[in-house]
Structure 1
Amino acid sequence: MVAIMTDTSDLLIRPATADDLPAIVTMLADDPLGATRESPDDLTPYRAAYATIAADPHQHLVVAERAGRVVGTLQLTVVPGLSRRGATRTIIEAVRIHADERGAGLGTDLVEWAVTTSRGLGATLVQLTSDASRTDAHRFYERLGFTASHLGFKLAL
């Protein structure tokens, strides 16, 4: 994981540590979809996943910290590829903002960090998916310049 930090006013965007897992998982669980699939009371699977993420140089799990408190997170994955003339792309996932920080621009700061970092890593495309039910999130991403260009599919295993 590249240690890329951004410090704007009182906000620090930094690589997540294992100590950040309780705050991250709590944010992942703090919405109707996350409440059905996350388990903040049992961090065991998250610790294993974190170890895998931390060991992979193509993974950038970050947190946004304000006054020593984790208030946001996202994961940025670098995907080298053959399509688009051998282009590298990045995927933004698991963007979450603490409930009492929503609407104050923190999501914009995190996504802009991801886009800037993607450029710095040589990516020519940034992509993300958002659950079809998250219409507010769709408007947010469109406001940041993303276009709804593809239809996504998932297969639970």
Structure 2
Amino acid sequence: MEIRRATADDVPAIVAMLADDPLGATRETPGDPVYAEAFKDIDADPRQFLAVAVAEGEVVGTLQLTFIPGLSRLGATRALIEAVRVRSDQRGGGLGGTLIQWAVDTARERGAAMVQLTTDASREDAHRFYERLGFVASHVGMKLPLR
């Protein structure tokens, strides 16, 4: 398996994984051209890394890694992990842990002082998964939907 930067050709497989769970099924629309435009914005931004895990020529996992420069913590850069997904037929085999470790290693290589992520409050299995990997639920996350 390899982890690499996503290409425009990977977008349909990524969106299919985003839509393949109870939450994603209510908010994603595979095939909508809006994803191609969003990909262009992500790909053009040097602080974004949309990664895919590829096995036997097929996209089997994804995550987005965002680097956020800041003033706090002595001007530290944070790395934000978002949209972690593993294709349903690949779950339970360690791929998720491999993706997260890749993200942590990449963040460290790029000088980030911290890696952070959010996970929906209803995703109890995901909470346990991240805790097993060393993440700590140290903050309360809040969101305000704008659309």
Q: Same fold (TM over 0.5)?
A: yes
Matched, 1:34 2:18: no
Task: Determine helix, strand or coil for the equivalent of 2:121.
Answer: coil
Query: What is the CA–CA distance in structure 2 between the aligned matches of 1:32 and 1:149, rounded to whole Å?
Result: 26
Paired amino acid for 1:39:
T
Paired amino acid for 1:34:
G
Matched, 1:98 2:81: no
Counterpart position of 2:57: 68
Task: Determine helix, strand or coil for the equivalent of 2:30.
Answer: coil
Query: What is the CA–CA distance in structure 2 between the aligned matches of 1:114 and 1:45, rounded to whole Å?
Result: 26
Counterpart position of 1:21: 11
RMSD of aligned C-alpha atoms? 0.4
Counterpart position of 2:105: 116
Identity %: 67
Task: Determine helix, strand or coil for the equivalent of 1:32.
Answer: coil
Normalised TM-score (structure 1): 0.92
Counterpart position of 1:132: 121
Query: What is the CA–CA distance in structure 2 between the aligned matches of 1:46 and 1:120, rounded to whole Å?
Result: 29
Normalised TM-score (structure 2): 0.98
Paired amino acid for 1:142:
E
Query: What is the CA–CA distance in structure 1 between the aligned matches of 2:35 and 2:138, rounded to whole Å?
Result: 32
Q: List, as ranges, runs of 4+ consecutive aligned residues in structure 1 with deviation greater than 2 Å.
A: none
Alignment length (residue pairs): 146
Query: What is the CA–CA distance in structure 2 between the aligned matches of 1:53 and 1:41, rounded to whole Å?
Result: 18
Question: 1:41: how far off?
Answer: 2.9
Question: 1:83: how far off?
Answer: 0.4
Question: 1:105: how far off?
Answer: 0.2
